[in-house]
């Protein structure tokens, strides 16, 4: 690989690392605000489509109450989402249209609702017979939204699991089971990766540890944060993230 090819990949690398770092720093800074011990973010390099399996922080002390749990859980997805939006806007501004070749085949990315909305808002609806030739940093934004959707699944100890436990407490495990079993038909009919993801979640476990004081009530602001998390999940989720055209 030539040095010039590596240089061309810098904008994509910076974009995806920034979105992932924002997500984890959202968690980390919220932990610091509540006096919860947590590590700085760890990045996970891997030979995937985007060169990483994401990032994570390790929480090293119990969480005091459900309000803190909800804010720690939702802060990461909000931060990543906020950084992914302008990344997508820049990518769409730099993207053009290309003619569809009916005989061509290749690896394609499914479009979540947020992509379709931003394309409409920025006037990037392809004319008949054409498709968007997405700028590479748009792929970074896409991965950021995909990671947000995965994390916001209300299962186990994912970010969405934290939010679900904070909002619904005792029925958290039933919610986890319901969403986990929803992934099975999605894996059969849309994308087999959902079957692998459901297996991973089963291995990790569906239970959620209690906070130090589960009796502390949530404020109306926390309820609205929970609904905002649901809205982000809907905007970022796509049943078929990857497919062969």
Quick check: 5 pLDDT over 70? no
Confidence of residue 36 (pLDDT cuts 50, 70, 90): very high
CB 162 within 8 A of CB 210: no
Report CA torsion sign: 18, 21, 26, 32. negative
Residues of the chain with pLDDT > 70: what percent?
Answer: 97
Helix/strand/coil (H, E, C) string of 121-187? HCCCCCCCCEEEECCHHHHHHHHHHHHHHHHCCCCCCCHHHHHHHHHHHHHHHHHHHHHHHHHHHHH
Confidence of residue 100 (pLDDT cuts 50, 70, 90): confident
> Can you give the pTM of this predicted structure?
0.93
Q: Quick one: pLDDT at residue 9?
A: 81
Average the pLDDT over 48-73 and give the result: 90
Cα 202-242-11 angle, rounded to 5 deg: 105
Q: What's the mean per-residue pLDDT of the chain?
A: 91
Average the pLDDT over 10-37 and give the result: 95
CA distances from 30 to 20, 26, 35, 75, 156 (A): 16, 6, 9, 7, 20
Ranking 7-16, 60-69, 145-154, 206-215 by mean pLDDT, the lowest is 7-16
Report CA torsion sign: 10, 16, 20, 26. positive
Can you name the residues that pair with 242 across neighbouring β-strands?
109
Average the pLDDT over 116-131 and give the result: 90
CA–CA separation, 65 and 216 (whole Å): 6
Q: Quick one: pLDDT at residue 107?
A: 78
Average the pLDDT over 187-215 and give the result: 92
Structural domain boundaries in the chain: 3-244
Residues of the chain with pLDDT > 90: what percent?
Answer: 74
Q: Quick one: pLDDT at residue 50?
A: 75
Quick check: 198 pLDDT over 80? yes
Average the pLDDT over 196-217 and give the result: 92
Confidence of residue 195 (pLDDT cuts 50, 70, 90): very high
CA–CA separation, 125 and 95 (whole Å): 11
CA atoms in the 13 A half-sphere facing the CB of 177: 5
């Amino acid at each position: 690989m030539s040095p010039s090819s590596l240089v061309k990949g810098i904008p994509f690398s910076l974009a995806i690392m920034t979105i992932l770092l924002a997500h984890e720093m959202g968690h980390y800074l919220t932990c610091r605000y509540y006096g919860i011990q947590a590590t700085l973010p760890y990045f996970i390099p891997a030979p995937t489509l985007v060169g990483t399996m994401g990032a994570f922080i390790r929480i090293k002390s119990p969480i005091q109450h459900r309000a803190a749990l909800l804010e720690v859980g939702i802060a990461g997805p909000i931060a990543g989402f906020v950084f992914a939006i302008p990344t997508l806007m820049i990518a769409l501004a730099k993207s053009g249209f290309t003619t569809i070749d009916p005989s061509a085949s290749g690896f394609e990315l499914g479009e979540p609702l947020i992509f379709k909305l931003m394309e409409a808002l920025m006037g990037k609806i392809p004319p008949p017979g054409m498709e968007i030739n997405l700028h590479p940093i748009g792929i970074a934004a896409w991965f950021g939204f995909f990671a947000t959707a995965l994390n916001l699944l209300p299962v186990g100890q994912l970010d969405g699991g934290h939010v679900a436990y904070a909002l619904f407490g005792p029925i958290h495990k039933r919610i986890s089971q319901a969403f986990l079993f929803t992934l099975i038909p999605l894996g059969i009919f849309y994308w087999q990766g959902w079957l692998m993801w459901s297996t991973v979640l089963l291995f990790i476990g569906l239970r959620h540890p209690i906070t130090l004081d589960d009796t502390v009530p949530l404020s109306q602001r926390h309820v609205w944060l929970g609904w905002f998390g649901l809205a982000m999940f809907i905007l970022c989720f796509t049943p078929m993230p990857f497919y062969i055209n």
